[in-house]
Structures are given as structure tokens and as C-alpha cells.
Structure 1
Amino acid sequence: MAKMVYPRILTPSSTSLLFPYTHFQKSLFCPQSLAISTKPISKARFSGKPGGPSLMTRASSTATAAVVSDDIADILGEVGIFTAAGEPVKFKDLWDQQDGVAVVALLRHFGCFCCWELAATLKESKEKFDLAGVKLIAVGVGTPDKAQLLAERLPFPLDSLYCDPDRKAYDVLGLYYGIGRTFFNPASVKVFSRFDELKKAMKNYTIKATPDDRSSVLQQGGMFVFKGKQLLYARKDEGTGDHAPLDDIFNVCCNVSTA
């Protein structure tokens, strides 16, 4: 039986329907960003920006509920990807499927400068995740040699970086894809407010990290948090550079049960 969760309150720009190219035929989610509240019983705490509203207050009691498949973790768990070193691995092997907490960040592709910025931000936050016992998993579209370019030049820890050259996980999670989402969605303008961060992340950037399959550059990413097989948070990037606020991710990880 599917369970009901409530979508985050969205801004007009984030709900734009310009060129809504998606993989709905393979998706287990409706075309919305989702935030699922958790129980605040963990003692782990992050030193991120304080004072942000909790996910509970970000949910609208009057919003239309979204249907999420109860077996999303099982289906995603069987998806095969690769480590940055080229070893095949399945999602279910990346974290403890009983009680482990994992932040799964799906980047666009390894040659996307916005993804270098996101990867740099995740790297800076990795110590916080580690101290809280949270596994950081960053997945990008491309082959291991492309992932290694990002890992070496950014740099980014290889043990947290994975490759999905065929975009299997992106299809399962129903992440957006297409020209409109990539180039024309209003949510993409957010990236211009982070110019300094982009400039810093692109210091050693190389376009050579772009996938050989050029159709992959039209893929958008997303952010997910799991505790074991329980999905705690799900957000689909509306456009290029429309990344999940890390404060939201920290709040979820702080409030997740470790019992």
C-alpha cells in the first residue's frame, strides 16, 4: 500500500510548467518536490545555519497529498551503478538497510559546473554528516573516468562518489529531464545568486568531465534522505542549479531516529 506525504510549499517559479519533460512512465513519484517529516529523537546535531524553519513547518496542511510507493527503497536498492573506481555496486549495498541514515545526492552530470558547486558544498559538509553517522552518497551521470576528473580536480572524496552512466536511478526516482528543464526553467536563475561559490568550485573545472553521451546533459538531479529503507526526504531539482537547501537536509538528519 502506498503512503501519503505532503509536498513542500513551492514558489511560483518552482512550480513552472515550462517544457515539463519528465520520465513519468518510470517514476515512482508525482512531479513535485516532497518533504517528509521525521521524529525529533536523535541527539546528533549539525553546526549549519541556525534558525531555519523545520520541515514540519514547511509542509502545508491544505496541500494535496502526494503518493509515494512504499517499496521505493527496495526498487532503488536493486539499481546497479558504479563506484568512481569502476566497481559495480547496487544501491542497497551503499548503506545499512536496517537503521543506516544516508543522504543520496543525485548530481546532473560530472561536466556540469553547477554540479561542481554542489559537490564542493557537500564536501565541505561531509564532516558534519560523518560526525552524525550519516552516509553521504553523491551520484553523477557519466562513466567512472569522468567521475575521477571531478574527484581529482575539485577535489571530492572518491569513497562518496558514484556513477550512473545509464541514468537508471534517475529514471526510477522520476527526476526531470529535457531541454526546457535544463535551459529555460525559471528555477535555474537561482544559480546566479551563488556566483562566488560557482567561481570557487570551478577553479579547476574541466568540460572533459561531460559524458560522451551528450543527451545526458539534459538530466536534472535531486536529493533524498533514507533511514534504512524508510524515505525521509525527497526533492527533485526543478531546473539546472536548483539544489536542495542543505539546512533542510541537516534538519532531517538531526531529527531522524537512531533507535
Structure 2
Amino acid sequence: MSDRRKDPVEGAPIGRRAMLATLAAGAAGLATAPSLQRGWERFLGAASQVDSTGLTGLLPNPGGFRYYSVVGSVPRKDDTDYELRVDGLVDRPKTYTLPELRAMRQTRVVHDVLCTDGWRVENTPFEGVRLADILDAAGVRGEGRAVRFTCFDGAYSENLTLEQARRSDVMVALNMQDKPITHEHGGPVRLYAAPMYFYKSAKWLSGISVTDKVIPGYWEERGYDIDGWLDGEDRHGNGSAA
């Protein structure tokens, strides 16, 4: 999912835009102080969940990422209550806990993160479990053609074809930038599809379901491309991972 909406927010109050622009200008220097960066990041993530206009996505973040959520509140999950359900057209449905995912073979991918809004975070490392390994463990049935992803925010969903899902640079990510993925970044677990725009990398991942056809996700239902390939990516290759 995108960390911000692709299209401009219609009907947003001009006064609020001006206020946020002013705040952004003052905060830009403040947020660059290393001791304040983490707190500012948490503020942006929290504010995006109660801002129906999406204007908080205009505020600067020293990490380069921007935040946006379409729901008023997203529950926080951790080792005690996080679950990832794998089902659909598979022989062996399974629900994974966070410790179980951490115990599986981990893969590392370093790639630029690019949003449809134009912002980019270069050479961003992600680590997690290859989606292909999870699908293999579940035993995809012959009629399986695609994968649908659901999220515990209760709103977002995403999709990949089975061929895309099996690429080595597509993973169920647990770490980003060599740290556990925070709630603000869609943690504790998110999808990461390296060769695609960031809206394809669904935050707050809670479900993986194998389907017989591609089911458009939240952003695709609102006009985004089904595939979301980045320019120059090998669309038929296997990707690259360490």
C-alpha cells in the first residue's frame, strides 16, 4: 500500500494546508537532530491515523518516508498477539506467530523504495522470509494463480500474481534498515515487493490467501496499476536477494 495517497486530497481546507506548510517549514530543521528523529517519526505515524485529509503526509521526515492511513486507528501488535494466517487454495493452511516467522530462514534485499508521489529512499535494506518459502510450506494447489494480502488495519488489501509472489525479492518483511519494522512503518510484519512501487508492499500484514485469479487491492480499486512495476525492473526474472 502506498504510504500516502496518490491523488491530491479534494476539498481540504486551505487554512489547514497553510498551517501544515508552516509547521513543515519549521519542523524540517528540528527533525534532523538525531535525538529528535525517532520521536518525530512516531508523531507523523500517529498523526496520519487521525488526519482524514492526508495532509500530514506533507510534513517532512528525516528518514525520507511519508505516512498515510485511511483508518482512524490501527491496533498495535507484538510477540504476544501478532498472527499471520496463510490459507485459500493451499493444502496446509497455517497461522504463524511472530517468533515462528523469526525462526524461519531469513533473506536480505537492498533496494530503493519509491512511492508514486515521487519520494525515494535509496538503498533500503529489508530482511524477512521469502514469500515463496511460505507458499511452498503451505502447498499451493494447481488452480492457484494469485495471492491476496489482507492487513490488520481492517482496510488495506493487496495482490500479486503467483509468479510475482515467488520472486526472490518479494518477502514477508520483519526488519527494515537493520531494525525491527516499527508500527509506523507497517510493523511488526509487512509485505515487501522490491521491484514495485511501495503501495504494493502492504503494511500491517495479517493474511496471505492463494486465489484462482488476481483480486484488485485497495489502491487498485482506486485507479492504481494492478502490477505497479518500477521502471527498468526485470518483470519476468526472479529478482535478487542475499
What's the TM-score once normalised by structure 1's chain length?
A: 0.27
Higher helix share: 1
> Larger Cα Rg: Structure 1 or Structure 2?
2
Larger relative contact order, structure 1 or 2 (CA cutoff 8 Å, min sep 6): 1
